[in-house]
Amino acid sequence: MAIELNHTIVASRDKHSAAASLAALLGLPAPSSFGPFQVVALSNGVSLDFLQTAEIHPQHYAFLLTENEFDDVFGRIRERNLSYWADPAHQRGGEINTRDGGRGVYFDSPDGHNLEILTRPYGSGG
């Protein structure tokens, strides 16, 4: 049996702004509307469905990118003067990590979600 993640709901104070901001930062197409959601479609068929709510419980979302995509997204992180860290606990500010022979960095969404971009999956070696 092949089981795949199809979508997950991302809580946000302003679903339109949050979805548009993430899509632009990642270089993805503009979000679409579906029912009460603003949908950011990822290239592997998974979507992030932004739902507006007053109650936010911060989550972690990690995005696997190619080296060139990492350069583009990390460039936009720096252009926007977003704080970033090499670790999920936000102890190594202004740094990236080189786990598994790749690169990774963590940053926060406006709603407090811990976002991560990385070029190699955890445990892939290198």
**Domain holding 79: CATH number?**
3.10.180.10
What is the tally of structural domains in the chain? 2
Query: pTM value?
Result: 0.94
Residue 126: predicted pLDDT: 62
Q: Over the stretch 88-106, which tens digit does the pLDDT of each residue have?
A: 999 999 999 999 999 999 9
Same domain, 44 and 65: no
**Domain holding 12: CATH number?**
3.30.720.120
Name the average pLDDT for the chain. Answer: 96
Residue 1: predicted pLDDT: 78
Domain span at 28: 1-57
Same domain, 39 and 7: yes
Same domain, 88 and 118: yes
Mean pLDDT within 28-45: 97
d(CA 59, CA 1): 28
pLDDT band at residue 125, thresholds of 50, 70 and 90? confident
Q: Over the stretch 50-87, which tens digit does the pLDDT of each residue have?
A: 999 999 999 999 999 999 999 999 999 999 999 999 99
Same domain, 53 and 72: no
Measured at the CA of 49, the angle between CA 100 and CA 28, to 5 degrees, comes to 60
Same domain, 46 and 67: no
Final residue in a domain of this structure, among 13, 41, 57: 57
Final residue in a domain of this structure, among 10, 28, 57: 57
**Which among 60, 109, 57 is positioned nearest to 82, based on CA atoms?**
109
Handedness of CA 112, 82, 105, 92 (dihedral sign): negative
d(CA 59, CA 20): 18
Mean pLDDT within 114-119: 98
Same domain, 45 and 78: no
